[in-house]
Each structure stands twice: as structure tokens, then as C-alpha cells.
Amino acid sequence: MFLNINILSFMLGFFFANILSTIPAQTGEWNIMSGSIIVTLNEVISKEIYSNKRTNQYLIIELLNNIKIGIVYGLFVDAFKLGS
């Protein structure tokens, strides 16, 4: 059961990456702001993951980490699509 939830949260992060890379870039003015927001959220999630090892919130933290990994992976895929 946890494997399905982890894969679903990873794919949700990948979907969020596609949203974050296409919608703000339509105007061309929000690229720097959206990039800084994405980096800030990734760092806040990483700080929360690696500083707290509580057992009662472990599933939520693990899901946030999978979403974060999906966002980073999706942005790398988009960067490779733009580079080719």
C-alpha cells in the first residue's frame, strides 16, 4: 500500500513540475519568481525532512519528500526537452 502512495506522490510532483514550468512562463516575467519559490519550497521541505525524525508524521514527511523529488525530476526533464 505504501509503495502505491509513494509512486502516486512522485507522479503528483512530476505533474506539479509541468504546471510550474508552463503556466508562469506564459508571460515571461515570472520565471525568476517561480524559480525562487520552487527552490525555497524545496529547501524548506528538505529542512523539515532531515531535522525531524518523528514517527507519527513520518508518512506525511515521506510523501512531501516524494513530491519534492518528482518536482525536481520533472524540471530536469523539461530542461532536457528545451535543450534538445
pLDDT digits (tens, 9 = 90+) for 22-66: 776 666 667 777 778 888 888 888 887 777 666 667 788 888 889
pTM confidence score: 0.77
Residues 3, 38: Cα–Cα separation, whole Å: 26
Q: Which pLDDT score is estimated for 12?
A: 92
Q: Which pLDDT score is estimated for 11?
A: 93
Q: Are 13 and 67 in contact (CB under 8 A)?
A: yes
Cell of 65: 519528500
Q: Which pLDDT score is estimated for 24?
A: 67
